[in-house]
Structure 1
Amino acid sequence: MLVTRNMKDVQILRVFFLGVMAIIGILSLQTYWVVNTWNNNEEEFNERVHSALYRVAQSIAKMGDISLPARNLIKQRSANYYIVNTETEIDPVALEFYLQKELERQQLRIDFEYAVFDCSNGQMVYGDYCAYDKQDNLPSAQERNLPSDQEFTYYFGVRFPNRSNFLFGKMQIALTMTGILFVTVLFFAYSLWVIFRQKRFSEMQKDFINNMTHEFKTPLSTIQIAADVFLKHAEVQKDQRLFQYAGIIKEQNTRLNQQVERVLDIARFEKDNFDLRQEWVDLQDLILTVTSSVRLRVQERGGTLKLNLAEDLEPIWADRFHLTNLLHSLLDNAIKYSKDAPHIELDLHPSGTSSVQLKIQDQGIGIAKEYQTKVFEKFYRIPTGNVHNVKGFGLGLYYVQRICFAHGWKIRLQSESDQGTCVSILIPRSHPKNTLVYEGAPAVR
Structure 2
Amino acid sequence: MKFVSTRGQSPAATLSEALLSGAAPDGGLYMPEVLPKAELDLLNPDEPLAEFAARLLRPFFAGDELEPHLRSICEQSFDFPINLVVPNLAKPQFHALELFNGPTGAFKDFGARFLMNCFERLAGRGPLTVLVATSGDTGGAVGCAADGRKSVRTVILFPKGRVSAFQEHQLTCWGENVTAIEIEGDFDDCQRLVKAAFCNPALCAEHRLTSANSINFGRLLPQLAYVAHAALARFKATGMKPGFVVPSGNLGHGFAVLMAKAMGLPIGPIVLATNANKTLKDWHDKGRYQPRASVQTLANAMDVGNPSNFERLSALGVQPSELRVELVTDGQIRTRIKAVYETSGYVACPHTATTFEAWWRLPKDERSDRDWIALATAHPYKFADMVEPLIGREIEPTAALASILNRRTYKVRSAPELDDLAQVLEGSALMGQRHCAM
Q: Normalising to structure 1: TM-score of the pair?
A: 0.20
* Larger RCO: 1 or 2 (CA < 8 Å, sep 6+): 2
User: Which one has the largest radius of gyration?
Assistant: 1
